[in-house]
Amino acid sequence: MSIENIVIGTRGSKLALWQTNWVRDRIRKLHPEIGVEVRVISTKGDRIQNVSLPKLGEEGKGLFTKELEDAMLDRQIDLAVHSLKDLPTELPEGLHIGAISEREDVRDALVARSGISSFDDIPEGARIGTSSLRRQAQILAARRDLILDPVRGNVDTRLGKVDSGEYDAIILASAGLRRLGHEDRITQYISQEFMLPAVGQGALAIETRSDDPAINRIIHELEHEPTKLACRAERALLKGLGGGCLVPIAALGIAGDRTLSLRGLVARPDGSEIVRGEGEGPVGDAEEIGYRLAEELLRRGADRVLDY
């Protein structure tokens, strides 16, 4: 069956539009005979800006995805582009991840006021902005003297809070900064050894209907196999731990030609306890590696940390 037009759903933020337009342009390049339309859909996460994500709890699951998924199931749009780290491990019936694109830089980035050149330079008692419990836990494990406050809003809004002096520094995903042309604002790329990234960080997920073979054939052309395998392992770890994007869980998979390695951690939000682990196996066993590492972390006390 031939396709004449594809409608892509997206959130309206600059970063979401950049990501969606990147996918649109790739489809147009591969299939110039197909029209591609972008449709902006507001999500609950876009409308709620005065509540930190951790305080939303279970209500926060699917915060940035539900309205897009509803539109897809209603056939108002054909696909949706997400930051993979925002996509829950359990998707609505009838939807799946059609492709995962090649990953950008997975590291977190420090954006600091003038006078601070690295994380080690941050003075005692400085105010750091982040709404991520994962980042908060890993920062406090190393620097309990810092004050961490939630920060919401789009990338430009958050950068403005540093410029205005509201925060001494903020932590953002380097992928988003680079995609929006703000690489020059990065004070320091934070090493993965110091701060393990979020599950799926830096990767884009293209969500489609499972029963739409024509769309899925086209979207599959955007798949990056090593990124897909690494992220499958990370998401299996997250699912095995029973966590979501609002829980202090971090992971990083690296897929080689034959072997996939995976590191993961579970932390208390205050950084007082962190359970770490590593796993490795054949690239074809990506999900099994993730589930196996989840079981190991739970045996070593991650269940107690998660129930804290």
Distance CA 214, CA 263 (A): 36
Residue 254: both structure tokens together: 């690296």
What span, in angstroms and rounded, lies between the C-alpha atoms of 127 and 165? 10
User: 136: exposed, middle or buried (C-beta count within 10 Å: 0-12, 13-18, 19+)?
Assistant: buried
Q: Residue 49 gets which letter from DSSP? A: -
Residue 11's φ and ψ, nearest 5 degrees, are: -70, 170
> Which positions ≥6 away from 120 have C-beta within 8 Å?
none
Closest CA to 275 of 232, 246, 241: 241
For residue 169, the cross-strand partners are 112, 128
CA nearest neighbour of 260 among 270, 268, 251? 251
Secondary structure letter of residue 182 according to DSSP:
-
Q: Are the CB atoms for 107 and 216 separated by under 8 Å?
A: no
State how far the Cα of 80 lies from the Cα of 149, in Å rounded to an integer: 31
The catalytic residue positions are 86
Name the residue among 176, 162, 111, 171 with its Cα closest to residue 138: 171
Q: How many CB atoms lie within 10 A of CB 159?
A: 18
Whether the Cβ atoms of residue 72 and residue 78 lie closer than 8 Å to each other: yes
One-character DSSP codes across 45-70: HHH--SS-HHHHGGGGTTTTTHHHHH
Per DSSP bridges, beta strands 274-282 and 127-129 are unpaired
Provide the token pair at 1.
């069956």
